[in-house]
Amino acid sequence: MSEKGQLESKKGARGVVPAIGIDLGTTYSCVGFWQHGQVEIIPNDLGNRTTPSCVAFTEAERLIGEGAKNQIAMNPSYTIFDAKRLIGKRFSDVTVQNDMKLWPFKVINGTSDIPKIVVTYKGEEKQFTAEEISAMILAKMKDVAEAFLGKLVEDAVITVPAYFNDSQCQATKDAGYVAGLNVLQIINEPTAAAIAYGLDMINDITCETNVLIFDLGGGEVGVPFEPSFVICTLSPSD
């Protein structure tokens, strides 16, 4: 049977879950899905609902999540974190140059001013873009969802910081595709928080209300103000 045929067979046997939501964070990531009228955050294989956004390379294997974070003290040069601070940026960007002074791993100037992370993996030097590292984390979150749901996951919505520009959003979307996901939409994190609040409080809010959305992340803090943002629900007949 061809590879495509095998994939179709798996889909038929296990089914395909509706879209998942992934919060690709600077320090931690998580994945959830809609069930019984609310979002359920999926625990990983260790039972944690958040997974460190960390990838490590050793002589024997590649580690993602807790396994990578737990060995960082012994393997700092080849344990990659903060990929979100690199994604979609140029090597010459002043923020990249400043961040590089704080990272224990090596970042070089690749082709067309694209930053490349240099590691040694299984005895060979490898170079990865921030998109590739992010794709590894997204693939991990996809695996977490599939293991929990017992179904294939194809579609996803991914959140990004409100300050991300078009280049950073597109790079995140590209990382999703590399991870095997069909990225339906990229939305900013404060908007996602506002939607979640609105869905959770829809029966309690009876009049027009101003709500301050405070997004406290591991790498950035966002407090956007959007007076025109309105949360509403649609009945089946709408």
Q: Cite the active site residues.
A: 23, 84, 189, 215
The two most distant CA atoms of the chain are separated, in Å, by 63
